[in-house]
Structure 1
Amino acid sequence: QKNAWKKVWKNYKGIEVSNVFEYVRSQGINTISVKVAVNPTKDKEGNESYLSLENAKKTLKEAKKAGLKTNVTLLYSDDITYAGVQKLPDGWDTDSAEKKALEYTKNVIKELKAADAVPTMITIGNEVNYNFLNMSSGDGWEGFVAMSKISKMIREEGIKPAVSVSALTTDASDIQWIIGKLGNADVDYDYIGVNIYPDTHNDNYVKTLKNTVEEKAAGKQMIISSVKCPWKDSEGKASITTQTKSIYDYLQATINEKNAGGLIYDDADFVGAWDSFFDENGQAMSSLAIFAYA
């Protein structure tokens, strides 16, 4: 997401690639996703955080140039949010949160348009289950209502709305409650993204999840909105095969009869991480090719 780093990226053979966006597209990736915080903390050198809108604009613009679709996850917080942790941005409170969130969303879209960086879709929040904008009282009903207003605004701007929830338990039917709330509040969305944690949620869980969405939310598309799969196997040995198989199984589990589905891989460009697609030298791991294969 921090395009200004001018990181050197390489293919599987260690040969530098001139454009990382065009390269990942050639490997079967079709969408680039970025996260945006309201008031992200700057780093020690005073540079903009990777969660800043300014960095997101640059990344989105370059991704669009390469012919990729794009997604912006608006966190409605000053940092990453998780299930149970939806901290409001500095200067927001519960009473003003809905109004401020609507104004903020409108301004973000305005800035993205001015930068020629309008995304294909905008995801409203990250891991929001019952507490959007930290509105958890009354089963979070006020939060769902606020989400409904935001989703309609996004749609009016010609952008596809999406929502992101967390798979909190091992019971896939739990998502029925969230689908019901989204429907009752008239939230307008094309995609319901579910953040998956491989240690807890396997591909069979995802298949059940997909079937639940198809049954309870007709016309909506279920995707995995965030997942990381380790290089290492269950014994801790480095094995790209482990990561590759996990990704393929998840992809297969989300795909429906119309060949729609898929996943957003979190921190895919986090160089040297044990669960990313690039090693410490910026060289692509062969597991990246599973998207083209799939």
Structure 2
Amino acid sequence: MIKRFFCAALLLGAASLGAPAASAQSFAKGADVGWLQQMEATGYVFHNEQGQAQDCLAILKAQGINSIRLRVFVNPSADKASGHCSPAEVTAMAKRAADQGFRVMIDFHYSDTWADPGKQAKPAAWASHSFPQLLTDVYDHTFSTMTMLKAAGVTPEWVQVGNEIPGGILWPEGSAKNFAQLAQLINKGYEAVKAVSPTSKVIVHLDRGNNNEMYRWFFDNLTKDGGKFDVIGMSYYPFWLKQDYTASIASLRANLLDMVARYPGKEVVVAEVGNDYTKVQNTYDMLVATQQAVRAVPQGKGLGVFYWEPEGAKSWSGYQLNAWTDDGKPSPALKAFRDGAVAPAKKAK
């Protein structure tokens, strides 16, 4: 995820209750917009390509985005960039997205703020809980949030149980140093999702989607210990790898193919992707190449690609890997979602 300071990924589709299953078969072109509510609340104005003020979701839809990803914190602070995203706030955003025709992905962090490979802090209210109580906590939090979404008429197409979790969740009890306990925690999240929304696909999400050795290690252990999941989620940030995407895209492609071959019946999704907003053409090319890699997964098991916080303009967030211009418009790089799997020679303009 993009996390080093802020992070989390994209959102996949939100269908209303009873939406036709066929929609789940189309390629998800997604955006994580967890900051959007607070950007609007603090007065940030989004402009479309023509320079006209417009709803951010409508602007994203015009770029080809069809899915939205939203993170959930347990008891967040009021910090504009690292707080909010409570179950109630996320439900309101998910309904707004679903009402505009987007598919929805929900991303449970199981923390009061960012969870990622470097930090998986328990929510303050759970800090002193025993492992058996943590199992109940995960189930209850997941179940109650999913129930809130259902009551609002939203059926998430995808639900992440944990955010970038190669080291596990809810440290130390859910550390990957104890896969048996980690698998139990993941299963409680999985079971809670399915109890409310049987059609939602449950994602287990790691960072460094180009690192096949890490993915084999993690999912071999998870499956050995009975972990339940439907989809393997990946983050892909060449920026954090400190190299151009051309140095790692082949490894991402190979890992995507290996995961569906190694774990029969599972699907894959790039749940987070991003790049330096000042490198427009390079970001466009990277997005096209990433979509091509996911689309190339056999039997439609490559579900889609989500940009992490494209709308998170640096002037508001301080985040370098957004995809918004300094004058409040969508970056031309986002046209890659319109162009889909065309050759990256096309200019982003």
TM range (shorter): 0.7 to 0.9
- Residue 252 of structure 2 aligns with an amino acid whose one-letter code is V
Q: Per-residue deviation at 1:34?
A: 0.8
2:105 corresponds to which of 60, 63, 71 = 71
- For 2:4, the equivalent position in structure 1 comes to none
- For 2:76, the equivalent position in structure 1 comes to 40
1:186-211 per-position Cα deviation (integer Å, ceiling 9, x unaligned): 33322211122214272112112112
1:211 corresponds to which of 251, 257, 281 = 257
1:263 corresponds to which of 287, 291, 305 = 305
Relative to 1, partners in 2 of residues 1:218 and 1:48: Cα closer, same or farther, differing over 3 Å?
Answer: closer
Q: Per-residue deviation at 1:140?
A: 2.7
Relative to 1, partners in 2 of residues 1:245 and 1:8: Cα closer, same or farther, differing over 3 Å?
Answer: same
Relative to 1, partners in 2 of residues 1:252 and 1:36: Cα closer, same or farther, differing over 3 Å?
Answer: same
1:121 corresponds to which of 158, 161, 168 = 158
Relative to 1, partners in 2 of residues 1:279 and 1:101: Cα closer, same or farther, differing over 3 Å?
Answer: same
Q: Per-residue deviation at 1:248?
A: 1.2
Q: CA RMSD in A?
A: 2.4
Note the residue ranges of structure 2 that are not aligned, 5 or more in a row.
1-33, 341-349
Describe how 1:5-44 pairs up with structure 2 within 5 A: 5=41, 7-17=44-54, 19-43=55-79
- Residue 115 of structure 1 aligns with an amino acid whose one-letter code is A
- Residue 65 of structure 1 aligns with an amino acid whose one-letter code is D
Bigger drift between 197-206 and 213-222 goes to 197-206
Q: Per-residue deviation at 1:84?
A: 4.1
Describe how 1:1-294 pairs up with structure 2 within 5 A: 1=34, 2-3=36-37, 4-5=40-41, 7-17=44-54, 19-43=55-79, 49-92=83-126, 93-95=129-131, 96-134=133-171, 135-136=174-175, 138-158=177-197, 159-167=200-208, 171-199=211-239, 200=241, 202-232=248-278, 239-255=279-295, 256-259=297-300, 260-272=302-314, 273-294=319-340
1:263-289 per-position Cα deviation (integer Å, ceiling 9, x unaligned): 221111102354322223321111111
Note the residue ranges of structure 1 that are not aligned, 5 or more in a row.
233-238
- Residue 181 of structure 1 aligns with an amino acid whose one-letter code is N
- For 2:29, the equivalent position in structure 1 comes to none
Q: Per-residue deviation at 1:91?
A: 2.3
Q: Is the 8 A contact 2:106 2:158 kept in 1?
A: yes
Q: Per-residue deviation at 1:149?
A: 2.7
Q: Per-residue deviation at 1:94?
A: 4.5
- Residue 266 of structure 1 aligns with an amino acid whose one-letter code is W
Relative to 1, partners in 2 of residues 1:225 and 1:94: Cα closer, same or farther, differing over 3 Å?
Answer: farther
- For 1:235, the equivalent position in structure 2 comes to none
Relative to 1, partners in 2 of residues 1:78 and 1:287: Cα closer, same or farther, differing over 3 Å?
Answer: same
- Residue 30 of structure 1 aligns with an amino acid whose one-letter code is N
Q: Per-residue deviation at 1:262?
A: 2.4
If the length of structure 2 is used for normalisation, what is the TM-score? 0.74
Q: Per-residue deviation at 1:105?
A: 0.9
Q: Per-residue deviation at 1:48?
A: 10
- Residue 247 of structure 1 aligns with an amino acid whose one-letter code is L
If the length of structure 1 is used for normalisation, what is the TM-score? 0.87
2-side partners of 1:286 and 1:142: how far apart? 45
2-side partners of 1:36 and 1:268: how far apart? 18
Task: Between the two structures, name the one with larger relative contact order (CA 8 Å, sep ≥ 6).
Answer: 2
2-side partners of 1:241 and 1:48: how far apart? 29
Q: Is the 8 A contact 1:167 1:196 kept in 2?
A: yes
2-side partners of 1:214 and 1:13: how far apart? 42
1-side partners of 2:260 and 2:176: how far apart? 29
Relative to 1, partners in 2 of residues 1:223 and 1:48: Cα closer, same or farther, differing over 3 Å?
Answer: closer
Identical aligned residues as a percent: 20
- Residue 128 of structure 1 aligns with an amino acid whose one-letter code is I
1-side partners of 2:291 and 2:52: how far apart? 28
Q: Is the 8 A contact 1:75 1:126 kept in 2?
A: yes
- Residue 115 of structure 2 aligns with an amino acid whose one-letter code is T
